Amino acid sequence: MSASAEQGNQTVESARRTLAARLKAAGNDAAELDARLLTGAATGLDLTGMVTGAKRLLTPDESTCLDDFARRRLAGEPVARIVGVKEFWGLPLHLSAATLVPRPDTETVVERALELLRADNAAERALRIADLGTGSGAILLALLSELPNAHGFATDISGEALRTANRNAAELGLADRTTWIECDYGSGLTGAFDLIVSNPPYITTADIAGLDIEVREHDPRAALDGGADGLDAYRALISQSAGLLTPHGFLVVEIGQGQADDVEALMTASGLSPTGPPKADLGGVPRAVSGRRLPR
Ligand code: GLN
The DSSP code sequence of 63-87 is HHHHHHHHHHHHTT--HHHHHTEEE
Say if residue 282 is in the same domain as residue 220: yes
pLDDT above 60 for 34: yes
Closest CA to 294 of 256, 259, 242: 242
88, part of any domain? no
Owning domain of residue 48 = 3-75
pLDDT in tens, 69-103: 999 999 999 999 999 999 999 999 999 999 999 99
Atom of ligand 1 nearest to the CA of 199: 9
- Do 54 and 143 fall into the same domain? no
Do 121 and 244 belong to one domain?
yes
Judgement on whether residues 69 and 104 belong to the same structural domain of the protein: no
How far lies 284's CA from each of 224, 254, 274, in Å?
21, 14, 19
Other residues' Cβ atoms within 10 Å of the Cβ of residue 26: 13
Residue at 248 is within a domain: yes
The model's confidence at residue 151, banded by pLDDT at 50, 70 and 90, is very high
Q: What is the mean pLDDT of the chain?
A: 95
Predicted confidence at residue 9, as pLDDT, reads 80
| Residue at a domain's end among 18, 42, 75 | 75
pTM metric for this prediction: 0.93
**Would residue 87 count as lying in a domain?**
no
203 lines ligand 1 (CB under 6 A): yes
Domain membership of residue 246 (yes or no) is: yes
**Is the bond preceding residue 161 a cis peptide, omega within 30 degrees?**
no
At residue 191 the predicted structure's pLDDT band, cuts being 50, 70 and 90, is confident
Residue having the nearest C-alpha atom to atom 5 of ligand 1: 224
- For ligand 1, the distance from its centroid to the CA atom of residue 241, given in whole angstroms, is 21
Give the rounded percent of residues in the chain with a pLDDT score beyond 90: 95
Whether 78 lines ligand 1, by a CB cut-off of 6 Å, is no
The answer to whether residues 56 and 121 belong to one domain is no
CA of 257 to the centre of ligand 1 (A): 10
Instruction: Check if 199 has its Cβ closer than 6 Å to any atom of ligand 1.
Output: yes
Q: State how many domains the chain has.
A: 2
Q: Is residue 168 part of a domain?
A: yes
- Whether residue 236 sits in one domain with residue 130: yes
Q: What is the DSSP letter of 234?
A: H
**Domain boundary residue, one of 75, 105, 135:** 75
pLDDT over 60 at 3, yes or no = no
- Let me know whether 106 and 70 are in one domain: no
* CATH code for the domain in which residue 229 is found: 3.40.50.150
Ligand 1 touching residue 103 (CB < 6 A): yes
pLDDT category at 295 given cuts 50, 70, 90 is: confident
Pocket test for ligand 1, best of 100, 218, 282 (most atoms within 8 A of CB): 100
pLDDT at 296: 63
Q: Are residues 158 and 34 in the same domain?
A: no
Neighbours of 72 (CB within 10 A): 16
CA dihedral 233, 283, 142, 80 (to 10 degrees): 90
The ligand 1 atom at the shortest distance from the C-alpha of residue 225 is 8
Boundary-marking domain end, from 75, 105, 130: 75
**Whether residues 156 and 284 fall in one domain:** yes
Vertex 212: Cα angle to 259 and 256 (nearest 5): 10
Residue 8 is assigned to a structural domain of this protein: yes
Asked whether the predicted pLDDT for residue 4 surpasses 70, the reply is no
| Same-domain check for residues 101 and 64 | no
In a domain, 83, yes or no: no
Tell me whether residue 151 is in a domain: yes
Counting residues of the chain whose pLDDT is more than 70, the rounded percentage is 97
Q: Are residues 152 and 241 in the same domain?
A: yes
**Same domain as 66, residue 122:** no
Is the minimum distance from the CB of 237 to ligand 1 under 6 angstroms?
no
